[in-house]
C-alpha cells in the first residue's frame, strides 16, 4: 500500500517535472520577450521620430506615420542583432543619420549644444557678481553724513513710508 502511494507520488513528481520542462522554455521566452520590448522602449526613448512631429520615436502615435513604424522595426532588428545599446543606436544612426538622436551627441560641434546654456548662465553669474561688487564698493565709499541713522528725521520718515508700503501701501 505504502509502496503504491509512493509510486503515485513518484509519478506525480515525474509529471510535474515533465510539465515544468515543457512550460519553462515558454516562461523564459515570455520573460525574454518582455525584456526585449523593454530594451526597445529604453533605446527608442533616446531616438526621435523624423516625420516632423518632434516626438520621441516610441511615443509617436500618428496613425500611418511614414517614419515611426518602419524605424521601430529597424530598431527591433538592431536590438536583436546587437547586445550593446550603443551599437543598436549606432545602427540607427547609420540608417537615418544623426538627426534620429533625440539629443545631440556630446562630441565635436554638438558639444556646444550642451555647454552653451550653462556657459551663458555662468557668464551671467559672473556679470552679476561684478555688478554687485562694483555697486557695493561704491556704496561703501560713500561718505556718511549728518545725524546717526535713527535720529535723522528724513531717514525715519523714509523708513516709516517704506514699512507702510511693505505692509500694504498702494500697489
- Residues lying near another protein in the complex (CB under 8 A): 45-46, 48, 50, 52-56, 59-61, 63-64, 97-105, 108-110, 113-114, 116-118, 120-121, 124-125, 128, 131-132, 135-136, 138-139, 149-150, 155-156, 159-160, 162-164, 166-171
110 CA to centre of own chain: 18
| Residue with smaller CB distance to another protein, 11 or 29 | 29
| Residue with smaller CB distance to another protein, 55 or 82 | 55
Measure the CA dihedral 66/71/72/75, to 10°. 170
> Is 46:91 a contact under the CB 8 Å cutoff?
no
- Shortest distance (Å) from residue 152 CB to another protein: 10
Classified as helix, coil or strand, 164 is helix
> Is 57:47 a contact under the CB 8 Å cutoff?
yes
Residue of 100, 87, 4 whose CA lies nearest to 39: 87
| Residue with smaller CB distance to another protein, 27 or 149 | 149
48 has which bridge partners?
A: 56
| Residue with smaller CB distance to another protein, 91 or 152 | 152
- Shortest distance (Å) from residue 75 CB to another protein: 15
- Shortest distance (Å) from residue 6 CB to another protein: 41
| Residue with smaller CB distance to another protein, 13 or 131 | 131
> Is 51:68 a contact under the CB 8 Å cutoff?
yes
- Shortest distance (Å) from residue 65 CB to another protein: 11
Amino acid at each position: 500500500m505504502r509502496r503504491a502511494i509512493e509510486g503515485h507520488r513518484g509519478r506525480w513528481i515525474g509529471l510535474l517535472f515533465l510539465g515544468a520542462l515543457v512550460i519553462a522554455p515558454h516562461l523564459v521566452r515570455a520573460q525574454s520577450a518582455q525584456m526585449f520590448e523593454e530594451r526597445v522602449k529604453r533605446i527608442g526613448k533616446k531616438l526621435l521620430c523624423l516625420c516632423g512631429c518632434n516626438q520621441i520615436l516610441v511615443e509617436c502615435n500618428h496613425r500611418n506615420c511614414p517614419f515611426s513604424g518602419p524605424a521601430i522595426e529597424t530598431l527591433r532588428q538592431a536590438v536583436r542583432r546587437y547586445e550593446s545599446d550603443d551599437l543598436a543606436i549606432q545602427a540607427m544612426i547609420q540608417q537615418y543619420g544623426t538627426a534620429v538622436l533625440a539629443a545631440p551627441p556630446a562630441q565635436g560641434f554638438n558639444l556646444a549644444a550642451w555647454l552653451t546654456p550653462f556657459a551663458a548662465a555662468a557668464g551671467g553669474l559672473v556679470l552679476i557678481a561684478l555688478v554687485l561688487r562694483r555697486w557695493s564698493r561704491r556704496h561703501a565709499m560713500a561718505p556718511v553724513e549728518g545725524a546717526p541713522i535713527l535720529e535723522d528725521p528724513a531717514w525715519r520718515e523714509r523708513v516709516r513710508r517704506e514699512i507702510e508700503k511693505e505692509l500694504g501701501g498702494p500697489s
